[in-house]
Structure 1
């Protein structure tokens, strides 16, 4: 038991650091732009480059973990993240900082892609839901505390300190992980470099195309078309592989396939709501500080709901919990959309807690289905697929918000909220389908 506790501590620390990094850098972007003398648009690439690196390398690094073993790839990624964080803190200019952010993204992708696989090997199957619940609680707590922590650091230190704090935390995580993480023997088959390149090309061009969609539609469509072509080549190549980089073998398992589709819809719902709600609240006359206070119960509700759902998912069918969670999210968002917002801060805060708890009730059991339904030898592929579904969902949610804002004008935030409700209902219905095919 003590060995398991320390192994979970190493994994949880890695999750917390990677979640904190993105949110804290987001808070510091205006200051970074001023210090480096760059435009706000250029500064956003410090986030975009990181996210693009993560999403395009998740599956290749999960496959590398299955080849070499989870432990060395995870610890190597953790070390690269810490080293790149030090480089970011010492970067003399924008170009060097951007390069370090790309390396940070590569290290974070190695950590994210293998977290679920490591959890699958740390815990027995009967306790898997509880373990995933702890994971989700760490994510929610780190996400909720990141803006406050970043603000506290920036009041006493320059923005470089936001990167420097990751260095000792990474060293601590590596030391604990080196001693306590389980050994996982890889399959030793040759790494499929061609498939890895096609994966990076397909996902990279697709997300770049989505980013350009509203500003330059023709180039965007060209990029998306090229991405689809690369994706077709990738899938055809993967169908011939015994342990494919793109886990098409796992997608043949119907509960996993449905859980992946539901995950994309649920994360689309979450991110579309989370991005549009501040615009909706502030558009109704609520202050920026008031908006922050009203939305704080969302991650707190998730931090409470996720571990409870994790324990329940070891005894109750995951599909039932997932459907109930998405119903709670849809009801909460629908009530917010129909209320007069000004003067109802406490009620809206309570609805935010309901939304967060509902999302927590979905993610933990759904992730348990993805990991628990996969063969243990393919835990790395299942974990990479889980992380990729999450990023596909958040990116889709952001794109939907941008389209709603462009087409609906001042009604864009409310239209985005309605789209979020639609995504939540779709995720709930998919979960019920999974219950029928158990």
Structure 2
């Protein structure tokens, strides 16, 4: 495929989207390393300061689809500017928060801004760069996402140690102002959108409550069965509401498109498995292999750094060979990487962890670039916001599910990973990644069927409202 060169304005437009992905990704994890510091600053318990992280994640998870749909009618560039403004202003309020309650509330508002940025950044790629460069652009956004999430804990810890906890939020203010200017100056103006477009308030409310119930079920102990039941009932109610709505939040006919359904399912499965490395890795490296905390940190950084730096090259592969070929290949790489982690004995040492993680990280970068490009290439202009948002939602739900479900598998295999001996920890790693391998094999089978049997994406089409 001929690669059309990027004009200077397109490069700056892509830079604005890269910043729009980096900032909310950074704040997903920047507060994690400083929770003990924040607990001391506000004289709070660990359970209380955890809500500094949970408030942000819950806001993003529950709002991302709604704001994506709103962008399709209101104008994606215009709403992205509003989202950047909300995120930046809320960051300043976080830094000035006089109490823990204020900080948690400001983090929830910051999550609203982040939801807008996450939802619309991928959708705006088609407006910012030529179609022949879409894979590279998606690879860059994947790099920014991985870089932000990876850099967050170390940058947060450094700023807290040398400047103060307020600095982890103040840093967003100059970045946000620069980002807003770049978006305003270089992103193409929104196409003419219909005025007075109806918004599905009942569907939005039901979906938000359903997602909140599920996210809380995965993060709050003691209420999991009840909240899971409520979330299942919420899914059924949401379908009924959408079928009766004249302007549904999500056109259910989107899910009849095999490619869209498959891409979202694959994102959920892959991110669930990727979370396994963050859940199991620290225990295996410290208690299983006896590494120091510094060594654990260095080894754990290898995978995310590889995923970050390989995003753009992966995107170029997608531009050259097409998403249809690259998605099954990436999933096969994930099967192999997880399988090696499940099989390599602990006696092989740290190399037996690093080599499979390298395969997993490189395959994940290729999957993100290929899957996102393939998904968005066949979506109609007026549906890109909501489909992009559903992609972000699948990723978030995968991370939440992975932390809970795969963490439960590891805990079951080790009884108590904080006290278990090295041999038991190694056995827990093998069992957990055995489950991960099975999930990735299922994903590979699904991806191969969809991308190889169905061929190239269909031309853009508009889903008709009823």
TM-score tier (shorter):
over 0.9
Q: Could you state the TM-score of these two structures normalised by the residue count of structure 1?
A: 0.94
**2:299 paired residue number:** 294
Question: 1:315: how far off?
Answer: 3.4
**1:376 paired residue number:** 381
Indicate the larger mover: 68-77 or 324-333. Answer: 324-333
**1:264 paired residue number:** 268
Indicate whether 1:208 and 2:216 are aligned.
yes
**Alpha-carbon displacement from aligned partner over 1:187-215 (angstroms, at most 9, x marks no partner):** 43111111111110111112222334xx4
Tell me which of 408, 422, 427 is aligned to 2:443.
427
Indicate whether 1:197 and 2:202 are aligned.
no
Tell me which of 219, 241, 248 is aligned to 1:244.
248
**Alpha-carbon displacement from aligned partner over 1:296-343 (angstroms, at most 9, x marks no partner):** 221222123322221222232424322222222232232233334466
Give the Cα–Cα distance (whole angstroms) in 2 for the partners of residues 316 and 251 of structure 1: 26
**1:230 paired residue number:** 234
Tell me which of 3, 7, 17 is aligned to 2:9.
3
Which runs of structure 2 are paired with 1:129-208 in the superposition (5 Å)? 129-184=135-190, 185-188=192-195, 189-208=197-216
**2:86 paired residue number:** 80
Question: 1:405: how far off?
Answer: 3.7
**1:332 paired residue number:** 337
User: Structure 2 stretches of 5 or more lacking a match?
Assistant: 1-6, 421-426, 456-466
Give the Cα–Cα distance (whole angstroms) in 1 for the partners of residues 347 and 433 of structure 2: 17
Indicate whether 1:68 and 2:68 are aligned.
no
User: How many residues are matched?
Assistant: 434
**2:403 paired residue number:** 398
Question: 1:104: how far off?
Answer: 0.5
Which runs of structure 2 are paired with 1:28-107 in the superposition (5 Å)? 28-107=34-113
Structure 1 pair 10–73 and aligned structure 2 pair: CA distance change class (3 A): same
Give the Cα–Cα distance (whole angstroms) in 2 for the partners of residues 156 and 331 of structure 1: 42
Indicate the larger mover: 298-307 or 338-347. Answer: 338-347
**2:224 paired residue number:** 220
Give the Cα–Cα distance (whole angstroms) in 1 for the partners of residues 408 and 45 of structure 2: 24
Partner SS for 2:157:
helix
Partner SS for 2:250:
coil
**2:454 paired residue number:** 437
Q: Is the 8 A contact 2:276 2:403 kept in 1?
A: yes
Partner SS for 2:164:
coil
Question: 1:240: how far off?
Answer: 4.8
Question: 1:404: how far off?
Answer: 1.4
**Alpha-carbon displacement from aligned partner over 1:25-55 (angstroms, at most 9, x marks no partner):** 1111110011111111111111111101100
Give the Cα–Cα distance (whole angstroms) in 1 for the partners of residues 346 and 286 of structure 2: 10
Partner SS for 2:379:
coil
Give the Cα–Cα distance (whole angstroms) in 1 for the partners of residues 429 and 235 of structure 2: 33
Give the Cα–Cα distance (whole angstroms) in 2 for the partners of residues 168 and 249 of structure 1: 42
Partner SS for 1:314:
helix
Give the Cα–Cα distance (whole angstroms) in 1 for the partners of residues 79 and 213 of structure 2: 26
More helix by share: 1
Q: Is the 8 A contact 1:304 1:357 kept in 2?
A: no
Q: Is the 8 A contact 2:341 2:433 kept in 1?
A: no
Indicate the larger mover: 181-190 or 159-168. Answer: 181-190
Q: Could you state the TM-score of these two structures normalised by the residue count of structure 2?
A: 0.88
Question: 1:65: how far off?
Answer: 0.6
Tell me which of 229, 253, 257 is aligned to 2:257.
253
Structure 1 pair 28–272 and aligned structure 2 pair: CA distance change class (3 A): same
Give the Cα–Cα distance (whole angstroms) in 2 for the partners of residues 147 and 227 of structure 1: 31
Structure 1 pair 437–106 and aligned structure 2 pair: CA distance change class (3 A): same
Give the Cα–Cα distance (whole angstroms) in 1 for the partners of residues 347 and 282 of structure 2: 13
**2:367 paired residue number:** 362
Q: Is the 8 A contact 2:213 2:231 kept in 1?
A: yes
Question: 1:397: how far off?
Answer: 0.7
> 4+ residue stretches of structure 1 with deviation over 6 A?
none
